[in-house]
């Protein structure tokens, strides 16, 4: 039987557990060859998590009342200004409509399928999703491709080594 998961908005008291999950994610990234994303021990920083909570875009995934995943989800006509066309260095977005964005997704590793569950929860809110990840984040890139996301190119960002692979999933992208 599949685990029953619950999703809710993050609260300030969730931050210690979220930081534990991000520490595990940094270790996993390092073990899988992604040594340049979230390189410092405090990425993402507590201040950023508090800001995400204040902006009402931070979520946690719970199993039996315990936080097992965390992510940021935003939606709108242009929820991520960093996804502007002038930041894309190769390729481009396929669908111009309103979209959801997922950032800072991480799992505790206690249950399999948490990343998939978080992404599918976001897609249930809006079927047009954009996400970016580090070129060396092979586990995330594989998951996105498994879940039907299309690689749309690369984008420059002002953190880590400055490059991200961009992905998109929507009905109009699949119709092509």
pLDDT in tens, 54-75: 999 999 999 999 999 999 999 9
- Contact (CB, 8 A) for 100 and 122: yes
According to the model, what pLDDT value does residue 26 have?
85
Tens of pLDDT, residue by residue over 43-54, are: 788 999 999 999
Give the other-Cβ count within 10 Å of 5's Cβ: 17
The radius of gyration of the chain from alpha carbons, rounded to an integer in Å, stands at: 15
According to the model, what pLDDT value does residue 40 have?
64
Question: What is the model's pTM?
Answer: 0.91
Tell me the three state secondary structure of residue 143: helix
Q: What number of residues does the chain have?
A: 176
Q: Say which residue, 90 or 59, is predicted with more confidence.
A: 59
Give me the chain's average pLDDT, please.
Answer: 89
Alpha carbon distance 137, 75 (integer Å): 24
């Amino acid at each position: 039987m599949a685990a029953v998961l619950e999703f809710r908005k993050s609260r300030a008291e969730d931050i210690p557990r979220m930081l534990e999950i991000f520490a595990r994610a940094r270790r996993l990234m390092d073990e899988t060859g992604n040594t340049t994303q979230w390189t410092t021990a405090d990425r993402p920083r507590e201040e950023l998590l508090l800001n995400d909570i204040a902006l009402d875009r931070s979520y946690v995934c719970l199993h039996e009342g315990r936080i097992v995943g965390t992510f940021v989800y935003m939606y709108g006509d242009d929820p991520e200004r960093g996804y502007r066309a002038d930041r894309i260095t190769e390729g481009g977005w396929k669908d111009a409509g309103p979209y959801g964005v997922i950032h800072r997704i991480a799992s505790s590793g206690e249950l399999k399928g948490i990343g998939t569950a978080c992404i599918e929860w976001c897609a249930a809110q809006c079927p047009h999703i954009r996400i970016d990840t580090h070129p060396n984040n092979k586990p995330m890139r594989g998951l996105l491709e498994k879940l039907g996301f299309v690689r749309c190119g690369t984008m420059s960002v002002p953190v880590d080594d400055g490059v991200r692979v961009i992905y998109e999933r929507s009905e109009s992208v699949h119709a092509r």
